[in-house]
Structure 1
Amino acid sequence: MTVSVKEVAQRAGVSVGTVSNVLNHPERVSEAARRKVTDAIRDLGFVRNDAARQLRAGRSTTLGLVVLDVRNPFFTDVALGAEDAAAAAGLSVLLGNSDENPERESTYLDLFEEQRVFGVLISPVGDVGERLHRLRERGTPAVLVDRVSADETTSSVSVDDVEGGRVAVEHLIAQGRRRIAYVGGPFAIRQVTDRLEGAQRAIDASPDAALEVLTTHGLTVLEGRRIGEQIAARPAARRPDAVFAANDLLAMGLLQALVMQGRVRVPDDVALIGFDDIDFMTAAVVPISSVRQPSRLIGETAVRLLLAESEDPSVERQRIEFTPELVARASTGVVAEDQRNSGA
C-alpha cells in the first residue's frame, strides 16, 4: 500500500508543508523537525513519487537511451559512458533494448515521450528522423548514437564506419588475402551498410581482390556461427581466404564454428577481423583482430550534446565522427602489441 505525504505528516506531528520542505529544501527546516519527519518516513516505509514531482516541475532528471542490442558489450560501454556523463549533470539513464526490432524501438520512444524524459539518445534500427523531429517540437532533445543524421537536423556521435570498413579490408589485402567475404546484416542497419561500402572501396582499389557478401539476420554470435558453419562446409577451393565481420559478436561466432570443426585453421586458411574491439577479442582462443571505436567516449559525448541542446534548443546541430583504429591480432596473422605485453 502506498504511503502518502499526508500520512507522514500525521505520524510526525507536523504539517504537509514541513514534510515537503524536508524532502525538497531540508535547509529550511529545523533539526528537530527533520528528525521527526525522517523517523516517520522510515517507520511508514514512505517512498517519494519522484516522477510526479518532476512532472509538476515540468522537467525530468532521466535520459532515455535506446540501443540496438544490450547483449553487445559495445553498447554496454556506450551506456556506461552515457551514465557517467549523465550522473555528473545530476541525471540518470533509463536503458531500452530495441533488439534490432523497429516496433520495439517505437514502443520505447512512446514510453520515453509519455514519461517526458529530459532527452533521448538512440542507436536506431532504421530511419527515425521524423520521430525525433516530433520529440524535439514537444521539447525533448535527441541525439543519434553510433549513427549519422541523414539530413543533419539531429546531432550525432559516431565513428566513420565507411573508413572502418576500408581499413579492415585493406589490412586483409595487405596480409595477402584476395578472396574476402563480408558477413553482416540486416542491411536496414546503417552501420552494416556503411562498413560494407568501406570494404568495397578497398576491394575496388585492389583489382585482383574479390568481395563476397554473406547476409545475416542479426549481429549475434549465433548468426556468426551459422555463417561459419556454411563456410567450413565448402570445399577449400571455394572458401574465402579472409572474412570481415560487421561486428565482433559475429566474428566470435565465426571463429567458434571454424575452429570447433577443425577443418579450417585461423588465420592459416581463413583470416578473420571484426568491428568494435570489445574486450572479448583478446580472450578468444585465437585473439581476433578488430576495428576499434571509442565506445565510452561516444556515450559521454552524446550526453554532452544533449545537455547543450537542452540549454539552448536553437543551438547548431553537431556531427561528431571519431576515426576508427585498426587493432591487428593473431586472427589475421599478426602478433599484436597487447599479446606481446601479456606474454602471449
Structure 2
Amino acid sequence: MSSYTDTIRRYATDSRYTGTLDRADGTGEVGLGPEEAGRRLAVRFALRIDAGQVTQVRFQVFGCGFTIAACAAAAELAEGKDLEAAAAIAPAAVAAVLNGLPTERDYCAELAVAALQAALASARSEDHAVAVVAHDPAAVEHGPRVTAADPVYRRLLASPAPRAVAAEDRHLFACLLTVAAAEPWSLAAALGLDEWELAALLQRYFPGVAPATLESGERGKRPPLVNAGVLAVLHSHLPAGGDDPAPRWLAAILAARAAHPGHLWVAMGLFARPELSAAIRRHLPALTAANSRGMRWKRFLFRQVCDLKGGVMCKAPDCGLCSDYSLCFAPEES
C-alpha cells in the first residue's frame, strides 16, 4: 500500500471493525444480489443495536484498499451513535475522515455508506432480515469499452504486422492502447509503464506508430494509484529467465488497470472476458497455474494480496463453503 496516503493506509489496515457478528440486529449488503453477482465490489455491514444505539459494527469487504479504508471510517463514524445519527452519515463524511479520496475513488465511500444504510434498514425491520441493495449502476462499466470500429484500434492494426508477433497479442495491446488513449492521463501512466517501455511496446507490435499520435486532449491528470501488493504478486509469477519483455509489460499493465473500478477485462479494453484469461495463459502461465480454480482475475489478485498481508476480504475460510461463490467463480462468458 505504499501508494496510499498515511491516513488511508491506517484505516485500510485497521482491524477493529472487521469480521462478523453472530445474530446481528442488522445486516446490509451491497452488490451481493443475484442480479449483481460479479458486477460490484462486495461490502457487508453487521450491526449490534442496544436501546436505539449502534453499539457494535463489523464489516467485510471484497475490494481495494480505498474501499476497505472507507468501510473502516464508516464503521468508526457509526459505532456509538443512535440510529438517527447513524442514518445521517454521508459519503462526504467518510471521505472527510480519510482526509479525502481521489476523485476516481469517491465510489468507495458510496459503497461503504450504502452497505451501512442497508444494515440500519435491516435493524429497523421486524425480522432483521439481511438487506441487499444495488449500488448506482453508472458507477462501474460492465460492457466493452473498445470495439473493432474504434479509430485508434483500427490505426494500430493498420500498421505493419511483424512476422514474429502473434495476432492475439496485436489485438491485446491494441485494445489496451485504445482504452488508454481515451483517458485523461498519459498513455504510459495509464498502462503502468515507463515512457521507454511504451515506446518499445509500440515498436514491437505496431512499428511506425508513435505515442504522440495516439494521444489527444489534455493529459494533466494522474491515473488511479497502483496497488503495490498486486504488482508484487504479478512480478512473483513472471517467467524465470528469458529475454521476452511482454510478460513484464503485461504484469505492469494488469496492476495499473486493476486499480480501476469494475471488471478488469473492461478496464483493459478487451472485447470479451475470456480474452483476459487467454492473455495471462500466454504470458504469465505460472499465474494461471496459481489460479487453478478459475477465480475471476481481479478478485484473485486482491485475494493473494490479502493472504500475504493478513487482510480481510472473504467471509469464509473455504471458497466452496462461501455463499458468495458465484461472485468469484462466475463463468468466463458472463
Tell me the TM-score normalized by structure 1.
0.23
More strand by share: 1
Tell me the TM-score normalized by structure 2.
0.24
Query: Which of 1 and 2 has greater Rg?
Result: 1
